[in-house]
């Protein structure tokens, strides 16, 4: 009966009645307040952990930060550049001539020079290339942010699917354990009744066979549970602990109609926004290359100070060596210049034209990718929408089948107690009930998963909205 009440609550939730959902949430909140057990990991908390600890999400976020840093690089073209320089050199000169007449000489000299200076350069106009490059960098940064959000939403969807798979595996293990206990009870009753002659040996064998099958099913269910919990731990970066029940996202986050879902996917879909920003970035890149064929205007200036030191000595020939005294000369020179430099391209060997043609082709490629992304987003949204509607109807239908199977089992057991039903029929009804309950849990899992798939398709799977 407790399971029946739980399934009825799930059925009312799947019906989509807002008043019924509020009532269910109120009842569940009151029940949860009376439970003294430790609080486990909820799906919303798993989302938060994955968004902050998942390495794939962090890598995408750092890539977006790198693209955003490129905006500062592009903006730097609007500001002047100033650099300093220093130069030092030395020279040694030596002269030796054959004495022919008075006045011929020999000698040497050394020269040292040291220069310090500053160079100023400010680009005033470059055919509009600087403006377009800045716009391209901004679009590329937005594309990186959109790509990071796309990666994060994909990871969050994987978290939702894995969390619900692990939750389904937990419930399946619990149902399998209850089924094993029920089959063990049937086998014990069969052995007792066989000893008093009310059951046959085949009845005992059938009960033992069902018990063995149920025990084998538990092993498979536990292995699947271990696998799902391991995958969930890798996604959220921490051991999941006890999992709490999950439900569909807030109905206000989901599109109310299929047309609304299509429009949201065309404009807000993660892949569509990435393709759209890439298209605009390619357009600005094309314009930036086109601006390279225009004139450029720069404001330039320089300032330098040079210190020069000369020292030399001469020897007069022929005759007695007559040495002149050392001569020393020092010179200090300062140069300051400023002006405007205009450069007009005349012939560029076809390089700019070739790059412009390449950029145009890339722009056309990005436009086709944007159109393809929109079509794919609409198709993905329509698929998620129809799958969600089917999952809701299937969940409600299977819950009805579960309640019917539970009622049938109770009546078959009562009839078997008075001899109107065989043990085989009781075992079959028990097995059918277990399989129906597992199907109901699977349908519930599919319903919630499809709701998150629809939310991801329209770009609404965001941490800020889910918390």
Sign of the Cα pseudo-torsion (269, 274, 277, 279, in order): negative
pLDDT over 50 (residue 64): yes
Sign of the Cα pseudo-torsion (350, 352, 353, 357, in order): positive
Domain boundaries, the chain: 42-79+126-295+344-466
Mark out the alpha helices in 110-128 (DSSP H runs).
Answer: none
Mean pLDDT of 204-213: 78
- Report the pLDDT value the prediction gives residue 95, as an integer from 0 to 100: 63
- Report the pLDDT value the prediction gives residue 118, as an integer from 0 to 100: 93
How does pLDDT run across 296-311, given as a tens digit for each residue? 889 999 998 988 877 7
* Banded pLDDT at 164 (limits 50, 70, 90): very high
Superfamily covering domain 42-79+126-295+344-466: Outer membrane efflux proteins (OEP) (1.20.1600.10)
Sign of the Cα pseudo-torsion (239, 244, 248, 252, in order): negative
Backbone angles phi, psi at 101, to 5 degrees: -145, 165
Under DSSP, the state recorded for 2 is H
Under DSSP, the state recorded for 76 is G
Burial class (CB in 10 A: 0-12, 13-18, 19+), 451: buried
- Report the pLDDT value the prediction gives residue 180, as an integer from 0 to 100: 82
The residue ranking higher by pLDDT, 127 or 286, is: 286
- Report the pLDDT value the prediction gives residue 388, as an integer from 0 to 100: 92
* Banded pLDDT at 107 (limits 50, 70, 90): low
- Report the pLDDT value the prediction gives residue 156, as an integer from 0 to 100: 92
Instruction: Tell me what the pLDDT averaged over the chain comes to.
Output: 81
DSSP string, 126-187: STTHHHHHHHHHHHHHHHHHHHHHHHHHHHHHHHHHHHHHHHHHHHHHHHHHHHHHHHHHHH
């Amino acid at each position: 009966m407790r399971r029946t009440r739980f399934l009825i609550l799930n059925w009312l939730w799947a019906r989509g009645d807002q008043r019924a959902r509020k009532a269910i949430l109120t009842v569940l909140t009151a029940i949860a307040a009376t439970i003294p057990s430790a609080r486990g990991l909820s799906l919303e908390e798993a989302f938060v952990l994955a968004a902050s600890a998942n390495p794939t999400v962090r890598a995408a976020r750092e890539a977006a930060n790198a693209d955003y840093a490129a905006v500062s690089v592009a903006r730097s073209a609007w500001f002047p550049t100033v650099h300093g320089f220093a130069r030092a050199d030395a020279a040694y000169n030596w002269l030796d001539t054959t004495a022919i007449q008075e006045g011929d000489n020999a000698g040497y000299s050394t020269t040292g020079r040291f220069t310090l200076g500053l160079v100023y350069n400010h680009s005033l106009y470059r055919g509009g290339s600087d403006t377009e490059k800045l716009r391209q960098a901004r679009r590329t940064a937005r594309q990186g942010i959109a790509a990071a959000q796309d990666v994060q939403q994909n990871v969050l969807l994987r978290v939702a699917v894995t969390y619900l798979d692990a939750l389904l595996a937990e419930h399946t293990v619990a149902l399998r354990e209850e089924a094993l206990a029920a089959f063990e009870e049937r086998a014990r009753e069969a052995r007792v009744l066989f000893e008093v002659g009310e059951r046959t040996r085949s009845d005992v064998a059938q009960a033992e066979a069902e018990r063995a099958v149920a025990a084998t099913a538990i092993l498979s269910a536990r292995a699947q549970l271990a696998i799902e919990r391991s995958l969930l731990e890798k996604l959220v970066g921490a051991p999941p602990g006890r999992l709490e029940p999950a439900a569909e996202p807030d109905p206000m986050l989901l599109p109310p109609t299929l047309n609304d879902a299509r429009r949201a996917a065309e404009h807000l879909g993660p892949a569509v926004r990435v393709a759209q920003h890439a298209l605009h970035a390619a357009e600005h890149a094309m314009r930036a290359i086109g601006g390279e064929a225009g004139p450029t205007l720069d404001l330039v200036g320089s300032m330098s100070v040079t210190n020069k030191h000369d020292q030399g000595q001469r020897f007069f020939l022929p005759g007695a060596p007559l040495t002149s005294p050392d001569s020393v000369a020092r010179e200090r020179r300062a140069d300051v210049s400023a002006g405007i430099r205009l450069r007009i391209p005349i012939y560029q060997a076809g390089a700019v034209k070739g790059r412009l043609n390449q950029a145009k082709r890339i722009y056309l490629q990005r436009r086709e990718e944007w159109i393809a992304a929109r079509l794919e987003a609409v198709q993905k949204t329509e698929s998620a929408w129809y799958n969600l509607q089917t999952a809701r109807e299937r969940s409600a239908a299977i819950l009805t089948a579960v309640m019917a199977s539970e009622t049938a089992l109770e009546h078959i057991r009562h009839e078997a107690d008075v001899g109107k039903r065989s043990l085989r029929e009781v075992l079959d009804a028990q097995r059918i009930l277990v399989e129906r309950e597992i199907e109901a849990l699977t349908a519930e899992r599919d319903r919630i998963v499809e709701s998150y798939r629809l939310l991801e398709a329209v770009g609404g799977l965001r941490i800020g909205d889910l918390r």
